[in-house]
A and B are shown apart, each in its own frame.
Chain A
Amino acid sequence: MATTVAAPPSRAATLKYEKGIWSWLTTTDHKKIGQLYLYTALAWFLVGGIEALIIRTQLYGPNGRLVSADTYNQLFTMHGTTMIFMAIMPLSAAFFNFLIPLQIGARDVAFPRLNAFSYWIFLCGSLFINASWLIHKAPDGGWFSYAPLSTRTFNPGLNMDFWVIGIQILGVSTLAAGFNFITTIINMRAPGMHFMRMPVFTWAAFVTQFQIILAFPILTVAVVFLLFDRFFGTQFYEPAAGADPLLWQHLFWLFGHPEVYILILPAFGLVSEVLPTFSRKPLFGYPVMVYSLILIAFLGFGVWAHHMFAVGMGPIADSVFSVTTMLIAIPTGVKIFNWLGTMWGGSLRFTTAMLFAIGLVCLFTIGGISGVMHASPPADLQQTDSYFVVAHFHYVLFGGSMMGLFAGVYYYFPKVTGRIMNETLGKWHFWLMFIGMNLTFFPMHFAGLDGMPRRIWSYDANQGWTNDNHVSTIGAYILFVGMLIFVYNMWRSRRSGTRVGNNPWDAPTVEWSTPSPPPPYNYAKIPQITSRYPMWTREGPHSISAAYPVGAPAEAPEPTAEELHIPMPTPTLKPLLASLALTLAFIGLIWHKQVPIIILGLALFAVVLLSWVLTPLEPEH
């Protein structure tokens, strides 16, 4: 197949620093790691979507028998786990990776090899947990895995073993990335990039990382207890031994509610980049947008027990968490109004990215309003564990997070690839998603209020839920068609989309001053930042990017790092090897506690780590 061997010259020119699979395995470049995250997360998003489609097909009519109750439990558990930990979080991580260094005017993240490790251990963890499908023993205790229901006593199989270990591996990835990005943002801002000049996406990322490094240790501890209970016979979640049956719920939601904001804040950040560009107005109330991000993150740690109103905590606790939950709606509402204020009076351009951003503003608001309804304990008692809750969190996670992330994909695709995504297909994608999403999730409000419980695998014809479920299932198929169009559009645009220059959208922030795609070193000269929107000031574009022509696609290839005397990290396989070694130890644990394999894995990990820390990042000069 000679045709596949010879790459077209334009592609060769664009991707000149990518040479084959090896360059991806050894890369420490945040832009390539960001792309790895992007494509992996989209693949898992498709897997999670197919799981959802099977669920919806099962529930299309009464007494559905497409899958067994056991399989159904595995499907809804893995749908939630996949979408949260393997689709939305890594999609956000794709943007953290790609954008943070570019937006603060840096050449890479603070610890490039740790960054590669974060990706590889995420890939290993996601493959590990999904390997359970091969033996039809996928986790089946819900993504929240309530103990004691998930202890060995009530859930004896391998299913939840995959979950506790898989979540632990994914947690390593998220935490490592968190320390890395916090350091990057604090320490690698270009001269003049004060905190209050940072692009709002970077602010959202910054706040999210703090939530991650403070919330994930709590999940780690909760899961360690469950792991010890399941593997070593401890009694953390054994009520017969005197354990509190609510311990898991408290620990899990103390992580789980900040997690909700970990999922949504990056999307808020992306939308705060897209709306100003396509309204041709600076973001309305920038400082307030930043303060509201911080306030949301802070209050996010004080609302966890609103997930637990039905467990009988008593009126005092219920009231306190009700009030904090209603309070957190205030900074969130501030953001909605500021986005409206940004668009108000602007000269709007309805590109696909803009449509998705407006989609977030509309749909997240609906999810936000039903969220405030849950904040009232009496109302929540009616809604708990019903489809009303399913409708609510899909409006915030699909209508919010995913809409925002799609906006980000369309908006930043030209920066990532040097090509623009097809707008016609993009608009088909948007409208199918928008319609499909509302058809799927809006009727769930009614099904829920009519008493349809969550997580049931089938229902009877006389329960009055049939029509709502018909509509939901049709909507889910429309969503899936929209998603297929998106995948096709991405594949096609990456190969043959129209080539564009540095700043195709006439966007204001500094990352748009670099070539598309940026050279490995990002900035030939570290930019000097003088304002929040440097590309919209008279002298900004020229002072930032004196080295590059502004506008048209670069004709000549950019100079290499060697020509500019910029030291670059040496490509290395060690992050990948370290991830594999650590995963091996976990495989030993799940495989009947094979101690030699665990020790081998840990020993290999230690050896790779030692050789890693003793090797300098860059060649000595």
Chain B
Amino acid sequence: MATIALPDSHADHHYTATGQTHTKIAIWAFIGSECFFFASLISTYLIYKGRSVSGPCPHTVCRGLHPILNIPVTSASTFVLLMSSLSMVLAHSAVVRGDRKYSRIWLATTALLGTTFLGFQAYEFTSFVHEGLKITTNLFGSTFFTLTGFHGAHVTAGVLWLVTMLFVDMKRGLGPRDAINVDVMALYWHFVDVIWVAIFTLVYLIQ
């Protein structure tokens, strides 16, 4: 035993080759993977656009049915989601500088804006079903609900993540040492927003 030089294990232990934390690297890899996930969903939507043989269409009157997409309402919900990215940036900045009051306010605001977006989506989905578009109606319904539904699931996961973070905040208060965790959560949140920008453009705006 005497021959063994005791290593400086704590310095060893927190050494990383890039200087970044593991979670930061992992979230970027995850985002790369998610890009391919949503790219597959969006491509399928675009490939199947205009191929439905029954039911309503997104932008035009077809088979005697009104166009289904409600652009003004979705523009409002898009605005809400984009604002949630702003409040997430403010939350991160508050956590970094150790401002407990504003950390909590901005995290809660972000969660609230995310929930509002989900409320808009619930409203949108119910009204579509009332107007005769279900996931089983036609190819448009299948691809649209699957694509936007998976995006909504990602927003839900983000809201749950925010709620967990608020829970930790209630328990012991978030400080600068938590900045990296908020940073990683924010990366995920912004990514989900960026995906929505792509969906909003490709599905709603381009006819």
Query: B22 to chain A: which residues have CB within 8 Å?
Result: 110-111, 183, 187-188
Q: Is B168 an interface residue (CB 8 A)?
A: yes
User: When the two chains form their complex, are residues B53 and A242 in contact, meaning their CB atoms are under 8 A apart?
Assistant: yes
**Least CB separation from A104: chain B residue:** B17
Query: B16 to chain A: which residues have CB within 8 Å?
Result: 187-188
Q: How large is the interface on A (under 10, 10 to 19, 20 to 34, 35 or more residues)?
A: 35 or more
Complexed CA–CA distance, A526 and B9 (Å)? 9
A197-243 interface with B by 8 A CB criterion: 213-218, 220-222, 224-225, 228, 232-236, 240-243
Contact A613 to B15, CB < 8 A, known contacts A183-B22, A242-B51, A564-B7: no
Complexed CA–CA distance, A111 and B26 (Å)? 10
Query: Which listed residue (A224, A559, A606) contacts B146, Cβ 8 A?
Result: A224
Query: A182 to chain B: which residues have CB within 8 Å?
Result: 25-26, 29
Question: Nearest Cβ in chain B — how far from A67, in angstroms?
Answer: 37
Q: Is A592 an interface residue (CB 8 A)?
A: no
Query: B135 to chain A: which residues have CB within 8 Å?
Result: 228, 232-234
Complexed CA–CA distance, A191 and B18 (Å)? 10
Contact A221 to B26, CB < 8 A, known contacts A178-B33, A559-B4, A565-B9: no
User: When the two chains form their complex, are residues A183 and B36 in contact, meaning their CB atoms are under 8 A apart?
Assistant: no
Question: Nearest Cβ in chain A — how far from B137, in angstroms?
Answer: 8
Given contacts A218-B36, A525-B5, 12 further A-B contacts (CB under 8 A): A175-B33, A191-B15, A213-B29, A213-B32, A214-B36, A217-B36, A235-B139, A241-B53, A242-B138, A244-B51, A524-B4, A564-B7
User: When the two chains form their complex, are residues B17 and A179 in contact, meaning their CB atoms are under 8 A apart?
Assistant: no
Query: Which listed residue (A110, A220, A232) contacts B37, Cβ 8 A?
Result: A220
Query: B51 to chain A: which residues have CB within 8 Å?
Result: 242-244
Stretch among B39-47, B65-73, B79-87, B110-118 lining the A interface: B39-47
User: When the two chains form their complex, are residues B40 and A222 in contact, meaning their CB atoms are under 8 A apart?
Assistant: yes
Complexed CA–CA distance, A494 and B13 (Å)? 32
User: When the two chains form their complex, are residues B143 and A187 in contact, meaning their CB atoms are under 8 A apart?
Assistant: no
Q: Is A247 an interface residue (CB 8 A)?
A: yes
User: When the two chains form their complex, are residues A525 and B26 in contact, meaning their CB atoms are under 8 A apart?
Assistant: no
**Least CB separation from A187: chain B residue:** B16
B10-36 interface with A by 8 A CB criterion: 10, 12-13, 15-18, 20, 22, 25-26, 29-30, 32-34, 36
Name the residue in B32, B36, B47, B139 with the highest tally of chain A Cβ atoms < 10 Å from its Cβ. B36
Question: Nearest Cβ in chain B — how far from A42, in angstroms?
Answer: 29
Q: Is the interface of B mostly helix, strand, loop or mixed?
A: helix
> What are 29 pairs between A and B in contact, CB < 8 Å?
A110-B22, A175-B33, A183-B26, A187-B18, A193-B17, A217-B34, A217-B40, A224-B146, A225-B146, A228-B135, A234-B135, A234-B136, A234-B141, A235-B139, A236-B142, A236-B143, A240-B53, A241-B53, A241-B54, A242-B51, A242-B139, A251-B40, A251-B44, A524-B7, A547-B4, A547-B5, A559-B1, A559-B4, A564-B9
Q: Is B52 an interface residue (CB 8 A)?
A: yes
Complexed CA–CA distance, A236 and B52 (Å)? 11
User: When the two chains form their complex, are residues B136 and A186 in contact, meaning their CB atoms are under 8 A apart?
Assistant: no
Q: Is B6 an interface residue (CB 8 A)?
A: yes
Contact A564 to B143, CB < 8 A, known contacts A178-B29, A193-B17: no
Q: Is B164 an interface residue (CB 8 A)?
A: yes
Complexed CA–CA distance, A546 and B3 (Å)? 9
Complexed CA–CA distance, A110 and B16 (Å)? 10
Contact A567 to B33, CB < 8 A, known contacts A235-B138, A244-B47, A547-B4: no
**Least CB separation from B26: chain A residue:** A183
**Least CB separation from B16: chain A residue:** A187
Q: Is A351 an interface residue (CB 8 A)?
A: no
Name the residue in A188, A241, A251, A546 with the highest tally of chain B Cβ atoms < 10 Å from its Cβ. A241
User: When the two chains form their complex, are residues A234 and B142 in contact, meaning their CB atoms are under 8 A apart?
Assistant: yes
User: When the two chains form their complex, are residues A564 and B29 in contact, meaning their CB atoms are under 8 A apart?
Assistant: no
Query: Which listed residue (B26, B37, B53) contacts A180, Cβ 8 A?
Result: B26
Q: Is B123 an interface residue (CB 8 A)?
A: no
Complexed CA–CA distance, A183 and B143 (Å)? 33
Question: Nearest Cβ in chain A — how far from B114, in angstroms?
Answer: 17
Question: Nearest Cβ in chain B — how far from A211, in angstroms?
Answer: 11
Q: Is A316 an interface residue (CB 8 A)?
A: no
User: When the two chains form their complex, are residues A218 and B40 in contact, meaning their CB atoms are under 8 A apart?
Assistant: yes
**Least CB separation from B27: chain A residue:** A179
Query: A247 to chain B: which residues have CB within 8 Å?
Result: 44, 47
Type the 1/0 row for A521-535, where 1 means its CB is closer than 8 Å to any CB of B. 000111000000000
User: When the two chains form their complex, are residues B26 and A235 in contact, meaning their CB atoms are under 8 A apart?
Assistant: no
Query: A606 to chain B: which residues have CB within 8 Å?
Result: 160
Query: A526 to chain B: which residues have CB within 8 Å?
Result: 7, 12, 15
User: When the two chains form their complex, are residues B7 and A242 in contact, meaning their CB atoms are under 8 A apart?
Assistant: no
Query: A221 to chain B: which residues have CB within 8 Å?
Result: 37, 40-41, 44
Query: A186 to chain B: which residues have CB within 8 Å?
Result: 17-18, 25
Question: Nearest Cβ in chain B — how far from A569, in angstroms?
Answer: 11
B144-191 interface with A by 8 A CB criterion: 146, 160, 164, 168
Question: Nearest Cβ in chain B — how far from A481, in angstroms?
Answer: 42
Question: Nearest Cβ in chain B — how far from A258, in angstroms?
Answer: 11
Question: Nearest Cβ in chain B — how far from A568, in angstroms?
Answer: 10
User: When the two chains form their complex, are residues A183 and B25 in contact, meaning their CB atoms are under 8 A apart?
Assistant: yes
**Least CB separation from A184: chain B residue:** B22
Complexed CA–CA distance, A182 and B25 (Å)? 8
Complexed CA–CA distance, A225 and B43 (Å)? 13
Complexed CA–CA distance, A107 and B7 (Å)? 13
Query: Which listed residue (A110, A214, A217, A242) contacts B26, Cβ 8 A?
Result: A110
User: When the two chains form their complex, are residues B13 and A566 in contact, meaning their CB atoms are under 8 A apart?
Assistant: yes
Question: Nearest Cβ in chain A — how far from B43, in angstroms?
Answer: 9
**Least CB separation from B40: chain A residue:** A221
Query: A175 to chain B: which residues have CB within 8 Å?
Result: 33
**Least CB separation from B18: chain A residue:** A187
